[in-house]
Amino acid sequence: MKKFMTFGAVAALAMSIVSTTAMAAEGTLTIVTSFPKDLTAVFKTAFENKNPGLTVEVLNKKTSAGIKYLQETAGSNTSDLFWASAPDAFEVLKGDSLLAKYTPMAKGIPDKVGAFPINDPDGYYMGFAASGYGIMWNTRYTKAKKLPVAKNWADLKDPVYHGHVGMSAPSRSGTTHLTVETVIQGLGWDAGWAEWKEIAGNFKTVTERSFGVPDGVNSGQFGYGIVIDFFGLSSMGSGFPVDFVYPEVTTLVPANIGIVKDAPNASAAGEFIEFLLSPEGQELLLDPKIRRLPVNPKTYAKAPAGFPNPFKDKSIGAAVKFDLDLSKNRYNVVNSLFDVMITYRMEDLTAATKAIQEADAAIKGKSNPAAAKLIAEARALVAKVPVDEATAGQADFNKIFKKKRKKATDKVEGRQAEIEQEWDTMVKANYAKAKELAEKAKSML
């Protein structure tokens, strides 16, 4: 113990020296970000080299923790920039008026990537790179288990993939939310959810953080992951035996940056944004450990062979016209529904799906209308969504899930817990019943 104490004392002394020098340094730019060090370090070094005398302080926090951090410290804000993927995280901050307006001067950046506007129309945050969702798979895994390549979301519904797929929950990761919403908008409310549940019936897991998916595929914990492109591309760049493909239905979304309101070093923050959007900054995105799609179309001239180019290859992210307002209006309801129906009831859902898949296999080539009817019923029960599209989009209904009441006089009817309990009861009963029906059908064959 004595050893510890003397060591601690020495370390304390060393630390106090370190922290005083760090404080004495002038011109600090503090960036709160959810991006990995592989990305931030490249830009930090490049920007510091361009601006001697300026120190870039990078604070790495999960997107949700970053939002909470900015909300809680708003009273005496010490952060200059918020730098993260999901546009909806910026929407939350904008809604709390925690962002400052900025108009970038950089030239040569189009208005849209795919169907998505690159910059916030109100000017509170701007996109600097584009990303789309896709399917990534571990080639060793698929070879060992003799699984075919899945090229589209619908492929993942196939029974061969049962227990081999992983995804993150939309309530944990804003970009996952956009994928869920894209498929729902593409197919319609009921068919979209049915599609998701059929895919989710093959899930091995719903991971708690979005990086958990590429991590699981890289390790071979599961074979296929529904991931944002740079996770797939950078895993390949780091040498993992994985591959990545964009399905036909995907949305390209900009990853963004915005200046925090009352930023202590707002001028440096503006310069950083300009640097990010400059040809030099855009080119840094092509680094094999970063691999994000630049928003400046000219930068693609310098990209390695086979690098996807959304400005040229119109098939990426063009199949769905993404309705941002629709997505915004029902944002919380979609997240909560996904959690209640899929994340929290994973076991029930996969069990019901397995039973249906087995009954399907048994009926193949046979004609048994009674059994076929039971299977169809079971499928319909699994697909059932507790709320219809109109209700899900209602402003009043969404308020129940909202973070906080704006004023003390605001009143909301109903409680989230109450509603989720209703949904849960229905969903659980449906899954159990579906399993029973499918098993009955199988026994008839």
Partner 1 sequence: MSLQISSVQRGPAVVGILIALFLLTFLVVPVGQVIVVAFQDPSTGEATIINFVDFFRNSLFRESFFNSFYVASMSVVIASIISMPLAYFTTRFNFGGTALIQTLGIIPLIMPPFVGAVAMQLLFGSNGSVNLLLDEYFGFTIPFMEGLNGVIFVESIHYFPFILINLSAALSNIDRSMEESAQNLGANGLRLFRRIVFPLAMPGYVAGAALVFIKVFDDLGTPLLLNVNTMLAPQAYLRVSSIGISDPMGYVISVILVGFSLLSLWVSLRALKGKDYATVQKGGGGLMKRDLRSWEKVGCYAVVVLILMLVLSPHFGLLLLSFGTIWSYAVLPDAFTISHYITVFSTATQYITNTLLYAGLAALFDVILATAIAYVVWRTDLVGRKWLDYGATAALAVPGVVIGIGYLRTFHSVDVPLIDQPLASWWVIIVIAMTIRRLPYALRSCVAAIQQVSVMLEEAAENLGATKARTVWRIVIPLMSGGILAGFVTSFATAAVELSATIMLVAKETDAPLAYGIYEFMQSAAGRGPGAALGVIAVLFVGIGTYASHLIIERSNKARESTSIVAEET
Q: Which residues of 101-112 are buried (b: 16+ CB within 10 A; e: fewer)?
A: ebebebeebeee
Closer of 2 and 146 to partner 1 (Cβ): 2
Q: Which of 120, 92, 82, 93 is nearest to 104 (CA)?
A: 120
Closer of 17 and 376 to partner 1 (Cβ): 17
Closer of 38 and 377 to partner 1 (Cβ): 38
8 Å CB contact between 349 and 438: no
Q: Report the C-alpha gap between 136 and 38 in whole angstroms.
A: 20
Closer of 85 and 185 to partner 1 (Cβ): 85
- Report the SS3 class of residue 221: coil
287: which residues sit within 8 A by CB, 6+ positions away?
38, 42
8 Å CB contact between 432 and 345: no
Q: Is 60 exposed, middle or buried (0-12, 13-18, 19+ CB in 10 A)?
A: middle
Closer of 112 and 289 to partner 1 (Cβ): 289
Closer of 45 and 315 to partner 1 (Cβ): 45
Smallest distance from partner 1 to CB 160, Å: 17
Q: Which of 124, 56, 136 is nearest to 89 (CA)?
A: 124
Q: Is 82 exposed, middle or buried (0-12, 13-18, 19+ CB in 10 A)?
A: buried
Cα 87 to the center of its chain, rounded Å = 10
Smallest distance from partner 1 to CB 385, Å: 18
Cα 391 to the center of its chain, rounded Å = 25
Smallest distance from partner 1 to CB 323, Å: 18
Smallest distance from partner 1 to CB 74, Å: 9
Closer of 73 and 368 to partner 1 (Cβ): 73
Smallest distance from partner 1 to CB 363, Å: 29
